[in-house]
Amino acid sequence: MTTAVAQARKFFRRHGGILRAGEAIAAGIHPRTLYSMRDTGEVQSLSRGVYRLANMPPLADPDLSVVAMRAPRAVVCLVSALAFHGLTTQVPHEIHIAIDRSARPPAITQPPVRVYRFTGAAFSSGVDEQQIDHVSVRIYNAEKTLADCFKFRNRIGLDVVLEALRAYRGRRKRDFEKILEYARVCRVERMMRPYLEASV
């Protein structure tokens, strides 16, 4: 078992210390080894089926990395994306994720998630891939996030959207034309334009 644990430990380290159970088993780590490591505290369970070496440095954003591992095709959106981009003072109690309208929603209970269904270009446009805690996280860029938030303003609150626009306006690098492009994709250009013109 000691050799098996040592090999498992090496494999975890090669992947930033965090693995899905399926990845570990596919790599040849026996479930018994994995559960033994969990029971002795050598790995900790971050979410169902996601494990991490316990002696690794603290994660920068465990919720985003866990959700990305559990739902790799989902995209972090709305208030969670605003928080990532530093455009809100809101502290999200759930991770907001977008999925394609035809996709099955992920069964994630920890951390809590709120799922939004996007269609076509509204889902595929403006997606960046960020490396967070050695995990590739799909997240909408700041400009797409602002357009999305305006589209969902009745669900997240217009005050949150206006706060985000003010924060964006204070940046040195800003691109209001890019926001308008995404506003067209989200079909909110006509409603959003006056707010953007007031921000310029």
- Return d(Cα 149, Cα 192) in angstroms, integer: 10
- Return d(Cα 83, Cα 97) in angstroms, integer: 13
Task: Dump pLDDT digits (tens) for 49-91.
Answer: 888 888 888 878 889 999 999 999 999 999 999 999 999 998 8
pLDDT at 175: 94
Residue 139: CB partners within 8 Å, gap ≥ 6?
64, 75, 76, 77, 81, 84, 127, 128, 129, 130
- Return d(Cα 158, Cα 49) in angstroms, integer: 37
Q: Cβ distance 98 to 123 under 8 Å? A: yes
How remote is the C-alpha of 183 from its chain's centroid? 21
Task: Dump pLDDT digits (tens) for 81-138.
Answer: 999 999 999 888 899 999 999 999 998 888 999 999 999 999 999 999 999 988 999 9
Helix (H, G, I), strand (E, B) or coil at 69: helix
